[in-house]
Amino acid sequence: MLPEKYKAISDEQAILKIRHLKALLGKDVFILGHHYQRDEVIQFADATGDSLGLSQEAAKINSKYIVFCGVKFMAETADIVTADNQKVILPDLAAGCPMADMANEYQIQKAWDEIAQVVADISNVVPVTYVNSAATVKAFCGENGGLTCTSSNAGKVLDWAFNQGKQVFFFPDRYLGTNTAMRLGLKDKEIVLWNREEDFGGLSPEKIKTAKIITWDGYCPVHKRFESANLDLLREKYPDLRVIVHPEVPESLAIQADEIGSTSYIIKVVSEAPDGSIFAVGTEAHLVSRLAKEYPNKRILSLNVPTCMCATMERISPQNLLWILESLAEGKVENQIIVPKNIKEKALIAINSMFELS
């Protein structure tokens, strides 16, 4: 918890002190910043990116301390892929992910056991977890022949599984799973939704057996808020509008968008578009606002008004970052994220399998 003395410090004061501390600590500290972070924080990131990019960056870092300005599952992933002598720090331990909280290892194990009772051979089912999940859920996948995925590579992961004739059990994001499967050409009857509150997911044995992908009923509260009605209004106002959305949005909106892709993909499309382009972007508000500032010769709009902001990402403040860096300068490590060795080893199997495909 942030000590009281830091709560009275203004953003401006904190930013000045952070600059000094970064120079003082030098290469001992490496700061990772997710695209959804507020500008006051992400300006200090040594590397920015989406989940896949930051996971890959973390695996290459040699710094003694890795400060992850993101949410807990991201810091866990960084701890899994880094060396034992490196310490991963999350500036605010309350920065979690509602989607990740919608699937724990006990729920997943129960569902897995129920699926095993129905299908002929559970080894023909591949568990795939979105990286927006707890380390224990990643470990489940590693232990059961599965792997992780991100919004960037979900298509490759599912394509790999389907080409082997495998059935996929996908969690925790229903929309990423469904949108990706639909883009790969699956039909509605081949995609089923597992209700985590019901036995056997509320599905008949026949539906479980014949589905190519079983998706979990989790979702991102931010991306779920984007609506088709806003899209219709914007298209009417701007005839040349290009709509680009994150694959965590509901499938009813995804099928109406001009393009769909990860945060890194969205940034690439917008940056490469000619001046005068008009975009409606369906993803987190901080990223949309940053794009609008970076490309003033293009019109960058949020698909929703009011804009959708990730409240848990917002928890990482300049004051939190200042506290962490001052503590390190004093020889103290606060808010270290430690994944137990047995969980780390199993989760690393699932993550490395993803890296091999990517």
Q: Find the helix or strand (DSSP H, E) in which 19 lies.
A: helix 11-25
- Distance (Å, whole) CA 276 – CA 136: 46
Give the list of residues 6+ apart from residue 198 with CB closer than 8 angstroms, or none: none
The CA-atom distances, in angstroms, between 249 and each of 95, 199, 218, 252 are 21, 27, 12, 8
- Distance (Å, whole) CA 192 – CA 28: 48
- Which residues, in sequence order, are bridge partners of residue 281? 244, 302
- Which residues, in sequence order, are bridge partners of residue 244? 259, 281
Residue whose entry in the numeric block shows the structure tokens 């001009």? 258
Q: Tell me, what's the pLDDT at 35?
A: 84
Give the β-pairing of 336-337 and 87-89.
antiparallel
Cβ neighbourhood burial of 163 (10 Å; 0-12, 13-18, 19+): exposed
**pLDDT digits (tens), the chain, 358 positions:** 899 999 999 999 999 999 999 999 999 999 999 888 888 999 999 999 887 678 788 889 899 999 999 899 999 999 999 999 999 999 999 988 899 999 999 999 999 999 999 999 999 999 999 999 999 999 999 999 999 999 989 999 999 999 988 999 999 999 999 999 999 999 999 999 999 999 999 999 999 999 999 999 999 988 888 877 788 888 999 999 999 999 999 999 999 999 999 988 999 999 999 999 999 999 988 889 889 999 999 999 988 766 666 766 678 999 999 999 999 999 999 999 999 999 999 999 999 999 888 7
pTM: 0.91
Give the list of residues 6+ apart from residue 272 with CB closer than 8 angstroms, or none: none
- Report helix angle 154-163 to 174-183, nearest 10: 60
Give the β-pairing of 47-49 and 29-34.
parallel
Structural domains of the chain, with CATH: 4-95+312-340 (3.40.50.10800), 100-221 (3.40.50.10800), 226-302 (3.40.50.10800)
The structure tokens listed for 47 are 């590397």
Q: Tell me, what's the pLDDT at 344?
A: 96
